[in-house]
Structure 1
Amino acid sequence: MATFDVVLEGAAHILETKGLHGFNTNAVARQAGVSIGSLYQYFPSKEALLVELIRRKRTALIEKMQDASSRLEASDLRTIADGLVRAGIAHWVERPELARSLEYAETTLDLGPETEALKRQIVVVVAKALAPHGVENPETAARDLAALTRGMADSSGPFGKADVSQLEQRVRRAVYGYLGISDSNPLTSVRR
C-alpha cells in the first residue's frame, strides 16, 4: 500500500505546484518516483487519481467536523460555531492549492451519488450540532454555513497567503450573523 500513498502524494504535489493544467499520469509517476506501470496498477487514469484525492480530502473534513462536534456537544451555540468554523478553516488552510484544484476538478468529474453522499454527511454533522440550540431548519443552515465557510476561505487564496486568524475571525463574524449570535468581543464586533 506504500506505492498507493506515494502516488497520491505525488499527485497532490503536482496539483499544488502546477494545477490541473500540469496534471497528468506521467508527471505524477515522475513526481512519485514510480514507473507509469506501477501507477496504472492502482489508478487507470488521471481522473481516478483525482477521485481518490477528493474522497480523501472530504473524508478528512468530515472527520474534523465530527471530532469538533463531538468534543463540543454540551457547549453553547457560540462555542459550537467557533469549533466548527475552526475545523473547516483548519482543513482548508492545510493545503489550499490542493483544495482549490480538487474543488474545480470535482465539477468536471462524474462523481454523482458519491459526491452527494459526502456533501450530505457534512450537512448531517453540522445540522446535528445546530439542532439542539433552536436553529431554525438546521439542515438548510448547515448547507448555507458550509458554503459560506468554503466560499470565504476559497476566495481569500487569490489575494496571497491567507492570515488564518483573520480569515477565521471574518468567517466567524459571518456565521454569528447568520445564526443570530451576538459578537460581544469589541475587537471582532461588526461596526454598524
Structure 2
Amino acid sequence: MTQAAALSPRKTPRQTRSRASVEAMLTAAAQILEAGGIAALTTNAVAERAGVSIGTLYQYFPNKETILAELVRRQKAQFFEDMGQAVAAAHDLGLREAARTVLHASIRHHARAPVLSRELEKAEMQLPLGPDVCAAGSEVDAAMVALLTHFAVPQPEVAARDLSALCRGMVHAALFAEDCDLAAIEARLRPAVFGYLGIAPDAPAPDGA
C-alpha cells in the first residue's frame, strides 16, 4: 500500500446515516483545527465533538492524518473548481480583468475560512495526497497555460509556473504569519501580478474615495 493510499478513508459511507456521521466528523475536525490548530486535533477529540463513538470514527479514519488528508483533499477540490470556473470565464475578458478574475479565484478558498485554510496548508506540506489530486492540479495548470497562450503572453508555461509560485508564496507567507486578511493580501498581490504580465497598475483612488 502506498503512503497516499494509507491516508484515504478506510471505506466510503453508503447509507444516509453513515454519510451524515462522516460529515459530522469532518466538520468537528475543521472546528477543532480552527480553535486550536493541528496540535489540538486528536481522534478522541473529533469523535467527542462529532457525537460518535471512537469505534465509529475508526471505521472510516484510522488516525488523525487520514482526517487531515481528507480535509485537504476537499479544500484542494474546491480550489480547483474555483480556478477552473475563473479561467473559463477569463477567456471572454480583457487581460486586466482576466488577471483580476483568476487572482481572486486563486485565494477565494482561503477567504472562506482563513484560519482553517492556514492549518490545512500546513498539513498539506506533510501529507502525500495521491495521483488524483496531482491530476486535477495538472488540469488547472494546463488551463492556465492555455489562457496565457490565448493572451499571447510569452513563454506561457513558464509564466503559469511563476505566477502560481508568486501567488502561493505570498498567500502562504501571510497565512503562516497569522495574517488572515485575504482582501488585503489580494490587494498586495494584484500589482505584482499586473507587473509580471506588463499590465499598467490600477489608477490611484481619488482623494476622499
Q: Contact 1:54–1:102 (CA<8 Å) still a contact in 2? A: yes
Question: Mind listing any 5+ residue stretches in structure 1 that lack a counterpart?
Answer: none
Aligned length: 187
SS in 2 for 1:79: helix
Which residue does 1:58 correspond to in 2?
A: 76
Residue ranges of structure 2 left out of the alignment (5+ in a row): 1-18
In 1, are the aligned partners of 2:115 and 2:180 still within 8 Å (CA)? no
Flag the 1:87–1:15 CA change in 2: closer, same or farther, 3 A.
same
Aligned to 1:105: 123
% identical equivalent positions: 42
Q: Secondary structure at the match of 1:49?
A: helix
TM-score for the superposition, normalised by structure 2: 0.80
Distance 1:172 1:184, change over 3 A: closer
Rate the CA distance shift 1:184–1:19 in 2: closer, same or farther, 3 A. Answer: closer
- The amino acid of 2:125's aligned partner reads T
Structure 2 distance, partners of 1:117, 1:16, is 29
Residues 130, 154 of structure 1: CA spacing in aligned structure 2 closer, same or farther, 3 A cutoff? same
- Over the residues paired in the alignment, what is the CA RMSD in angstroms? 2.0
Give me the whole-angstrom Cα distance separating, in 1, the residues matched to 2:28 and 2:71: 11
Any idea what SS the aligned residue of 1:40 has?
helix
Counterparts of 1:117-128 in structure 2 under 5 Å? 117-128=135-146
Larger proportion of helix: 1
Deviation string 1:26-52 (CA, Å, 9 cap, x unpaired) is 111122121111111221221111111
For residue 184 of structure 1, report the CA deviation from its aligned partner.
Answer: 4.3
- 1:139-189 alpha-carbon deviations (Å, 9 max, x no partner): 322222222222222333335441x4332221111100111111142349x
The aligned amino acid for 2:97 is T
> Which of the pair has more CA radius of gyration?
2
Q: Structure 1-normalised TM-score? A: 0.87
SS in 1 for 2:125: helix
Report if the CA contact (8 A) 2:104-2:186 is conserved. yes
The answer (yes or no) to whether the contact 2:170–2:189 under 8 Å persists in 1 is yes
Partner of 2:13: none
- The within-5 A match list for 1:114-153 is 114-153=132-171
Once the two structures are TM-superposed, the CA of residue 80 in structure 1 deviates from its matched residue by 0.9
The whole-number CA distance in structure 2 between the counterparts of 1:7 and 1:160 is 28
Residue 25 of structure 1: how far off its partner (Å):
0.8
Contact 2:61 2:67 in 1 (8 A): yes
* Matched position secondary structure for 1:181: coil
User: In the alignment, does 2:34 pair up with 1:16?
Assistant: yes
Distance 1:182 1:172 in 2: 11
Bigger Cα displacement from structure 2, 58-67 vs 2-11: 2-11
| C-alpha distance after superposition, 1:90-123 (max 9, x if no partner) | 2111112222222221222233544533432332
